[in-house]
Chain A
Amino acid sequence: MNRLVPRLLLAPAVTTLLLWMIVPLAMTLYFSAIRYNLMQPGEREFIGLANFEFFVTDPDFWPSVTNTLVLLGAVVAATVVLGVGLALLVNEPFPGRGLVRVLLISPFFVMPTVNALMWKHMMMNPIYGVLAWVARTLGVTPVDWLSDHPLSSIIVMVSWQWLPFATLIFMTSLQSLDRDQVEAAGMDGANAPQRFWFLTVPHLARPIAVVVMIEMIFLLSVFAEIFTTTGGGPGNASTNMAFLIFKQALMNFDVGVASAGALFAVVLANVAAVFLIRMIGKNLD
């Protein structure tokens, strides 16, 4: 095969993404270096790095970086581990498997805002939530999730929403696991944990890498859940970088600082990506 065909196949994807990336990126770079507040049109002077400085000197800046990374790590860990578990659980046939598979994927269909409201009011409310009722039935004081454990609550909500995604990818991938090979290994004396570790896990290595990378992209910009439930608080306990940018962009309408913040978010994402690639990148091949 000559080299032209592969390049042609790639061309539409690469060109469109390039345009989609370049134009907003260029505009964001431009906005980040000028003074541009939507509420004060007409004053567009060049102010160099002042926007960046303002964004970084926000007392909430470093906590938001930490929160972003903690959220990312926790949700990825939860969804990968539980996702693999669930995919294995439904791998063998049993009565009603089809329905179970659809049910397992269904939380992903719920809009993030609805998800957040549902958890906040129906589940986590310490007075009329379902979790509170369970606690009281067990004789325990209900936990005030959103006030006492804001970041953990957000992690639970987001994990619940993304678990189906991981499960689906792992389910699909497990289908292509060579059953004959697994059975042969069993007959050669390998027990279940050994079969899992030496056969299943390597097979799942690439899907896991894919799930981690894709989730990373989405989780770095989690916003709806925080906005709807804790408003970034109490204090800055559940403020992540996306929320910090939102405060500038849509509360203050300061496009300059928001653009500077967006560029910081890109830097953070790149750092996380480099780190993750180093850990799991070889699995992508």
Chain B
Amino acid sequence: MRPRALLLGAVAWIVTLVLVFPLLWLALTSFKTELQAISVPPLLFFTPTLEIFAEVQTRSDYLHYARNSLVTSVASTLLGLAIAAPAAYSMAFFRTRRTRDLLVWMLSTKMMPAVGALVPVYVLAQTAGLLDSLTALIVVFTLSNLPIMVWMLYSGFKDIPPEILEAARMDGARVWGEFRHVIRPLAMGTLASTGLLCLVLSWNEAFWSLNLSAARAGTLAALIASYSSPEGLFWAKLSAASLMAIAPIVVFGWFSQKQLVQGLTFGAVK
């Protein structure tokens, strides 16, 4: 099977590089000067420089924004998982006639474009004194991502063959035991990928982050926004700022990719 694996690997690598090319180009551009960034034809070979990163660092407080992004993303993901997992569990293993309707209703809470709900939510936040606070952002992120989390977890839980569950129940496991010892290991892949995706969704969330925050609660989305489209050349700086904004997530994704694709091992059934 080895030659086939190598051929498959080669194809996979080529396809991946083509697909990811824009991102690689972005990374490359962060090491150029502004003038090099716009040159025609596009520069592949040039003397790299770190001056743009230095400029980004001195100009904006990266750590402040990164910290806010980290706090809001992690908190909203954990909170979301805590609320969504039981719900998905219930819907996957205690199905009723209403289950599908409930799923669709949950998704429908996201049907209103954020821009239409801006003023109501802004006024609500202001009344509650939560403008420019991390709390407001965490609440908004959690509730925005909750439907997605429920759906993905539901789908992942459904992938677990019922035989395993029955075997556990016949062994006398109760709900919590069932969840901890049987479901969780098997559903680790789904939990991890759901968590990662929601982490990313919160990390990149720009609309509410920008509108509900001012000087204190700004996330990396606000940092990026401060580099977008000013007057003057900015591609290199924007690339550098974006790289600095994506880097934590990519690193995290790299380390958690074992959990991501850990799935069911069918040895358990047999």
Interfacial residues, chain A to chain B (CB-CB below 8 A): 1, 5-7, 9-10, 12-14, 16-17, 20-21, 23-25, 27-28, 31, 38, 86, 89-90, 92-98, 100-114, 117-119, 121-123, 127-130, 133, 136, 160, 163, 165, 168-169, 171-173, 175-176, 178-180, 206-207, 210, 213-214, 217, 220-221, 223-224, 228, 241-242, 245-246, 249-250, 255, 258-259, 261-263, 265-266, 269-270, 273, 277, 281, 284-285
Write the nearest CB–CB distance from B166 to chain A, whole angstroms: 13
Q: Is the CB of B263 within 8 A of A175?
A: yes
Q: Is the CB of B23 within 8 A of A106?
A: yes
Q: Is the CB of A23 within 8 A of B124?
A: yes
Write the nearest CB–CB distance from B260 to chain A, whole angstroms: 7
Q: Is the CB of B260 within 8 A of A168?
A: yes
Q: Is the CB of B102 within 8 A of A23?
A: no
Q: Is the CB of A213 within 8 A of B151?
A: yes
Q: Of the candidates A25, A103, A119, which one forms a contact with B112 in the assembled complex, judged by CB atoms under 8 Å apart?
A: A25
Cα–Cα distance between A1 and B169 once the two chains are bound (Å): 11
Q: Is the CB of A172 within 8 A of B8?
A: no
Write the nearest CB–CB distance from A163 to chain B, whole angstroms: 7
Q: Is the CB of A242 within 8 A of B115?
A: yes
Known contacts A16-B146, A94-B8, A169-B152; is-contact A255 B197 (Cβ 8 Å):
no
Q: Is the CB of A210 within 8 A of B151?
A: yes
Q: Of the candidates A121, A228, A249, which one forms a contact with B235 in the assembled complex, judged by CB atoms under 8 Å apart?
A: A121
Cα–Cα distance between A169 and B263 once the two chains are bound (Å): 12
Bits for B1-39, please: 1 = Cβ < 8 Å to A, else 0.
000011011011101100111110110010000000011
What are 11 pairs between A and B in contact, CB < 8 Å? A109-B204, A113-B224, A114-B238, A117-B228, A128-B42, A168-B193, A175-B189, A242-B115, A250-B118, A262-B113, A263-B112
Q: Is the CB of A14 within 8 A of B102?
A: yes
Q: Which of B82-140 contact A (CB under 8 A)?
A: 83-84, 86-87, 89-91, 94-95, 100, 102-104, 106-121, 123-124
Known contacts A13-B87, A31-B119, A114-B242; is-contact A122 B254 (Cβ 8 Å):
no
Contacts of B266 in A (CB 8 A): 178-180
Cα–Cα distance between A38 and B123 once the two chains are bound (Å): 12
Q: Is the CB of A172 within 8 A of B22?
A: no
Contacts of B206 in A (CB 8 A): 111-113, 224
Q: Is the CB of A97 within 8 A of B263?
A: no
Write the nearest CB–CB distance from A55 to chain B, whole angstroms: 11
- Name which residue of chain A comes closest to B242, CB basis: A114
Q: Of the candidates B100, B189, B196, B246, which one forms a contact with A285 in the assembled complex, judged by CB atoms under 8 Å apart?
A: B100
Q: Which of B28-75 contact A (CB under 8 A)?
A: 29, 38-42
Write the nearest CB–CB distance from B238 to chain A, whole angstroms: 7
Q: Of the candidates B104, B150, B246, which one forms a contact with A13 in the assembled complex, judged by CB atoms under 8 Å apart?
A: B150
Q: Is the CB of B228 within 8 A of A221?
A: no
Known contacts A117-B238, A277-B104; is-contact A127 B115 (Cβ 8 Å):
no
